[in-house]
């Protein structure tokens, strides 16, 4: 029987991923925006936007990978810790461990 996996995001440049953010302590509003999405340890970053607000406590984010840094391009990481910073509510920061896919296919 297959086991369910945790969150994963694509690190291939310009490729899109979706990531679900849940926080029962914060009420997201229609004005909530993504400020930054990054993995500081590996130098990875994504352009992020709110794809859909599923509830007051749940957001579906759309991520588009920026270029993989040259220092890890030949040996990209399999996992990392992604930090998402949201605006409105002010400076909501969510960190999570994710698996990385390096899939350049559409």
4 CB-near residues (< 8 Å, 6+ apart): none
Determine the average pLDDT of the residues in 77-99: 88
56 CB-near residues (< 8 Å, 6+ apart): 27, 28, 29
Q: Does residue 3 have a pLDDT over 50?
A: no
Tell me the pLDDT tens digit for each residue of 10-64. 999 999 999 999 888 888 999 999 999 999 999 999 999 999 999 998 999 999 9
- Whether pTM > 0.85 for this model: the answer is yes
102 vs 83: CA distance, rounded Å: 19
Q: Does domain 8-99 have CATH number 2.60.40?
A: yes
CA angle 17, 66, 7 (to 5 degrees): 30
- Band of the pLDDT at 1, cuts 50, 70, 90? very low
């Amino acid at each position: 029987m297959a086991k369910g996996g945790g969150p994963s995001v694509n690190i291939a440049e310009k490729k899109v991923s979706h990531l679900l953010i849940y926080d029962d302590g914060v009420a997201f509003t229609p004005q909530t925006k993504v400020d930054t999405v990054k993995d500081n340890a590996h130098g990875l970053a994504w352009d992020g936007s709110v794809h859909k607000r599923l509830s007051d406590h749940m957001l579906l984010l759309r991520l588009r990978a920026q270029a993989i840094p040259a220092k890890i391009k030949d040996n990209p990481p399999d996992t990392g810790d992604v930090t998402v910073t949201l605006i409105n509510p002010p400076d909501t920061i969510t960190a999570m461990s994710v698996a990385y896919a390096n899939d350049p296919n559409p």
